[in-house]
Amino acid sequence: MEKLLKELQQAELERQTRRYFLQTLGAGVGGLGLGSLLGSCGYSSKEKIAAAPLVSADPMNVRMPQFAPKVKQVIYIHMAGAPSQLELFDYKPELEKYHGKDCPAEFLEGKKFAFIKGVPKMLGPKGQFAQHGQSGAWVSDYLPYLQTAVDDVSFLKAMYTDQFNHAPAQLLMHTGSARLGRPSLGAWTVYGLGSENRNLPGFIVLASGGKQPDAGKSVWGSGFLPTVYQGVQCRTGGDPVLYVSDPQGMNRDIRKQTIEAINEINKQTYEEVRDPEILTRISQYEMAFRMQMSVPEVMDVSKEPRYILDMYGVQAGEGSFAMNCLLARKLVENGVRFVQLFDWGWDTHGTSEDGSVEVGLRNKCLASDQAVTALLKDLKMRGLLDETLVVWGGEFGRTPMQENRDGQVLPYSGRDHHLEAFTVWMAGGGVKKGFSMGETDPLGYAGVKDRTHVHDLQATILHLMGFNHEKFTYPFQGRNFRLTDTAGKIITPVLA
């Protein structure tokens, strides 16, 4: 009761604010916020205002993109910490010749690194490279399973970014800005397209590796978009979503009546203040109720055939990256628009054996390679790969130099953060198969041909989903914002 009284007092204080006054001037002002919620990328101003009184409008309704899309859903696999492209995909035999020699001066002059000081030694690649598939893609022995699927993959080998620290680089990769407060790629996708499954969130996140990404949950947040579009993190053990089960002593009918009563109050409040976030709250209460049945069912792999579990390398009841890959297939199969996988632990500086490129990186590959490849083959086998885009990568690359933290030689082989060059790959609908684009210099330091920026990758993903990244916007603080900000171009050579 005391909590309820405090909420009533807070509501009364909010009614005395300037914001409340402006919101209650009428649909011409208060309706603007709701209008943007109903789709600023496709409605005219008059349509927005006319739509304002419609309390029943569901922000997750399916909406048409700006043009015919190539894919319906995205699975984005982010290896948090940044895997070394020089051990996995970017074969540099010339770098082997320079192993142990002083780094060339031109790689250091005017450059900033996260940890390297002074003149470090060059570090030759640790993986054994060979060409695979009909495409002849170079992949190292760190990824023996992916070697069998390269003819379904498009590699971008000269990606670059603006940030060399984990958190801002992850934010830039997923929100288009190194600063907090922008919507994530998944949130933009669901905002633009809605959700095909009314019983599941349109944007689901699965994390592994024991820790969250360095940038925290902001990398799947909604920023200034209505919060209904933010990613919903699910767990692979216990309740998939915290508090989704009925509390002890409360059955489903009682909970339904409770939610209906709360939402009736919310609707009355919305009629008074026209705050679009109230529609979000209504939608989320209703979604939470439906999720009680749908989420546990779709997250249950007990009915999967044994050969599928073996193909992914999944152990029943085990929360792992492999399990998350299998769940990603089940989620897109059930109409989830955007599935984000984060796997922590790919930072290999050489400060420890587990954090080295010869041991730590190889172990991370052993724990993930089979499952990623199984996901591609499983999607293809079910006819889902043609309508699904799979993206794999980190937030930046690794240096061709051995890290010498604070000028001291480290005990294990490691590479510092590097923004000049890294590899990202895509597979699925709308992208070429068995294709490689971009080239770095002979030592793998920087891109010299067909360089692609993080914003270019984002523009390309939106294009495949049916959006012009320059016209897919949301009004906020006096201007129209977009995922790619003021940059980005579609990577047309990679398009099928």
The pLDDT value recorded for residue 16 is 59
* Domain-located, residue 25: no
- CA 227 – CA 243 distance, rounded (Å): 19
Instruction: Please check whether residue 52 lies inside any domain of the structure.
Output: no
What residue numbers bound the domain in which 206 lies? 73-244+305-494
Is residue 39 within 8 Å of 276, Cβ to Cβ?
A: no
User: Does residue 436 lie within any of the structural domains?
Assistant: yes
Dist CA 447 CA 46 (whole Å): 48
Split into its structural domains, the chain has a count of: 1
Q: How far apart are the C-alpha atoms of 389 and 430, rounded to whole Å? A: 8
| Res 234: pLDDT | 87
Beta bridge partners of 415: 402
Tokens of 156: 């971008």
Q: Shortest CA distance to 415 belongs to which of 54, 40, 126?
A: 126
pLDDT surpassing 60 at residue 27? no
pLDDT value at 156 more than 70: yes
Residues 402-434: tens digit of each pLDDT: 999 877 888 899 999 999 999 999 999 999 999
Q: Residue 368 is part of a domain; what is its CATH number? A: 3.40.720.10
| Angle (nearest 5°) at CA 53 between 49 and 55 | 130
Task: Identify whether 46 is part of a domain.
Answer: no
Average pLDDT value for residue range 208-237 = 90
- pLDDT of the residue at 264: 82
Residue 232 domain-assigned (yes or no): yes
Using an 8 Å Cβ cutoff, are 132 and 150 in contact? yes
58: exposed, middle or buried (C-beta count within 10 Å: 0-12, 13-18, 19+)? middle
Give the C-alpha separation, 199 to 292, whole Å.
9
pLDDT-derived band at 199 (thresholds 50, 70, 90) equals confident
pLDDT tens digits, one per residue of 324-335: 999 999 999 999
Write down the pLDDT at residue 356.
Answer: 97
Specify if 266 maps to a domain.
no
How far apart (Å, rounded) are the C-alpha atoms in residues 77 and 185?
A: 13
